[in-house]
Structure 1
């Protein structure tokens, strides 16, 4: 899959001491854009390796689909950081690193002598990024600092679940894991920002990212409505306050989304639906009236969209009004847009016969493009290779394996 051009972060080495999703996603973003990301795993590995989905022919020896989706483009070294020798090996890696990303519970690495204050004495230019549910003390010590957190916890406290769903009695979390991946994106941004500062000053720093803060940062409607008007916004389905026609509408074979709120878009929608009379109807004559009477307007639109299939509506609306069918997984894989944008590249998956698709790189750089260069690594797949780069000889590596300080795996 490799191209001639290299990623913008080529030459940057990142130590990835993360597990589950938020931290690995951050490190993967850096790897996608060319950083040499070394995933430092305990001897038993990241527990996310055991998460599915699996194909029917997969012997489940290596890792499942979720691990593949957030650990591609990385190398893996497996160390026992609880042992003195393991920590010594890790310190050697720190000397070669530009950045470190971790998402352990607060103070776990401090207790091992591997916290930021310890490591910056060894490598003053090191950028040290942590992703935790409620952050660390650098950005302001939360009373919840030691609480565990998952995606749904971040969405609940950060404001998303309080405005998502049909009504306030049935809050719904946003699908997938944005309570993890959004913090991962912010952490990647913070890491690159700090790397730029370190490049010009030689001084590293601590990057403190909280999952809950990251969700709140994208809850602009929640904050602005309460800050300006002391209104706590409630869930309102798929509508958006003060905007109509905006929301989801039935098709013969599924559901579509439409956002035709301004007059030119709305008028085009009415014409395409064969309902020009809705343009001049007094209840729908302008944006204010369309919102005031949005339930009645939605019923009028639904009467017409429900007579057409998603494919027919796509042919009718495409390029004329803001709209999309609500895609299933199968439809995403079939759509020519995602193929043209290389958003479903295929990689090898150990233990299965056929390559598998992973989410592609959404940020397209013209001169230093990111890309999916390699599959996720086996546990300790690159242990010997990385230690050899540090100057260890084959005999020394064998002794470390015998002493169970390290682990190495191959296909």
Structure 2
């Protein structure tokens, strides 16, 4: 990887071995790669199975030829690909050599898989005491506290359900729970793990000692649902589904427009006065039942009905003209509106990357982190299967003869 291949990032020089799959683990290493880390994705023979997941741009190279779909392309940008068979002793020996030159290893296998391969934390730490070993599992690793569910497989909806976020999310107040659209059960734990890795690397830099970093998907979701914890602790009442409102603030949530929906956030009485002034309803402004947030929460139904009746008479654009910049307000955007809105272009949140074989680039979501001196961001497309096997092994001290022998024995691709 040449110096011209990237924009400097704050993690430039950090070497990460990425043994992850699906969404949660790759999102963690993507965050590190976006900030300049050299992330080496270790794939099994044939490549990561998520390469086959679409949608696919017309003409794009499919997994059978080493390519990938848009799902893989989105969360594996900025990475290198090495194909290594860890089921072979020689493959495990290669990984041990890579570990000696790495700063971080990330994996999201089920608990015990790496140990059974002879590649558990203790083994790798003996090879490289500075190594930060990061694990992401549904219910955590037994090293940090053995959950009764430690052996259960977990995906996004499981984490959402057991972590508490589904229990307060629903289309109507008191109605059935609803899964949140994006894979927050994967992405939120990924963010926490990237944060933990950065913290552990800072410690390793000062002390010369790495450590084991463990995030459970359900724990991360519970951490996001911190309000549920303190509410129940304080009141002994179980918070339920909240519809499109907020249990402690009013009006605060989703309201109809003539051509869709808008979101309003009125967290205090000053914003309430600005809202009713725009509504042009003196009676509503003067009614003592709505004078304070506590009073409005107590009369939630009447407040939401009055505000909703007014917003429904106007288009999203009209409401933006009246409320934008005055109170916390935003129209509900679909993907086409996001693509056409100037904000996301100015902020470089829609990034085009090459898609091998396709006649046009793939647009993916950019990094939301803005840093003045080390900008990071999306530097290049996701790798083809095994695209960097030879060059990466050479960088870690393998000579041409060793690499050729490993390929002959089908240890690498």
The interval holding the TM-score normalised by the smaller chain is over 0.9
1:202 & 1:119 partners in 2: Cα distance? 15
- 2:188/2:221 contact within 8 Å kept: yes
Matches within 5 A, 1:19-58: 19-58=21-60
- Per the alignment, residue 210 of structure 1 pairs with 216
- 1:248/1:255 contact within 8 Å kept: yes
- Match of 1:385, SS? helix
1:90 & 1:303 partners in 2: Cα distance? 63
Matches within 5 A, 1:12-411: 12-61=14-63, 62-165=67-170, 166-407=172-413
Deviations 1:246-270 (A, max 9, x none): 1211111101110123121111111
2:6 & 2:186 partners in 1: Cα distance? 33
- 1:42/1:79 contact within 8 Å kept: yes
- Match of 2:106, SS? strand
- Match of 1:212, SS? helix
Instruction: Pick closer, same or farther for the CA change 1:303–1:3 going to 2, 3 Å.
Output: farther
Instruction: Pick closer, same or farther for the CA change 1:128–1:336 going to 2, 3 Å.
Output: same
Instruction: Pick closer, same or farther for the CA change 1:120–1:321 going to 2, 3 Å.
Output: same
1:157 & 1:123 partners in 2: Cα distance? 36
TM-score by length of 1: 0.96
RMSD over aligned Cα, in angstroms? 1.6
1:240 & 1:246 partners in 2: Cα distance? 6
**Segment drifting more, 386-395 vs 88-97:** 386-395
- Match of 1:373, SS? coil
Instruction: Pick closer, same or farther for the CA change 1:12–1:327 going to 2, 3 Å.
Output: same
Deviations 1:92-118 (A, max 9, x none): 111100010000011111111111111
2:151 & 2:174 partners in 1: Cα distance? 29
2:240 & 2:277 partners in 1: Cα distance? 33
- Match of 1:346, SS? strand
**Segment drifting more, 40-49 vs 250-259:** 40-49
Q: Which runs of 5+ in 1 are unaligned?
A: none
**Segment drifting more, 163-172 vs 124-133:** 163-172
| Structure 1 residue 351: Cα displacement | 2.6
2:287 & 2:342 partners in 1: Cα distance? 38
Q: Which runs of 5+ in 2 are unaligned?
A: none
Instruction: Pick closer, same or farther for the CA change 1:232–1:129 going to 2, 3 Å.
Output: same
TM-score by length of 2: 0.95
| Structure 1 residue 59: Cα displacement | 4.9
- Match of 1:14, SS? strand
- Match of 1:358, SS? strand
| Structure 1 residue 4: Cα displacement | 8.4
